[in-house]
Amino acid sequence: MATESTFALQSNILHQVDAIIRASEERSRPLEMDPARSELFDLFAQAEAAGILRDGSDPDLSSDGLCASLSELWGLKEAARQSAEKQTQLPPEHMARMRSLWSVLRMWMEWTYAWDRWAEFHRSR
């Protein structure tokens, strides 16, 4: 059962991820480069230690959960809905955010995969 402190941690991690992404965008630096990559991985490790990386956990900071939360925070869902409705392209600022979202999603998924398989490759033979 999730506690108030778990939800506070999730909110804190989400806002730190947002801040790292915004700082990288302002500097025109890829998220895959340090310091952003290391900072994001530290947040990933915190989420894993708190047990909120699994799909369906409550709160959910799995790759899907994180991206859904960021998408909502940035208004991407509504922008995509309006774009589809009007049959227009996403505005450039939303496309930039979408690219950042995809970068974070990819890294978060890769780290989750590696973390889940760690024991498989590090047990004594």
Return the DSSP state at 52.
Answer: -
Q: CB under 8 Å to 2, separation ≥6 — which residues?
A: 57, 58, 59
> Residue 115, Cα to own-chain centre: how many angstroms?
16
pTM of the model: 0.85
Domain ranges of the chain: 1-117
Q: pLDDT tens digits, the chain, 125 residues: what are they?
A: 567 788 888 889 999 999 999 999 999 999 999 999 999 999 999 999 988 888 777 788 999 999 999 999 999 888 888 888 888 888 888 888 989 999 999 999 999 999 888 777 777 65
**Helix, strand or coil, per DSSP, at residue 77:** helix
Q: Six-digit token pair at 125?
A: 């033979």
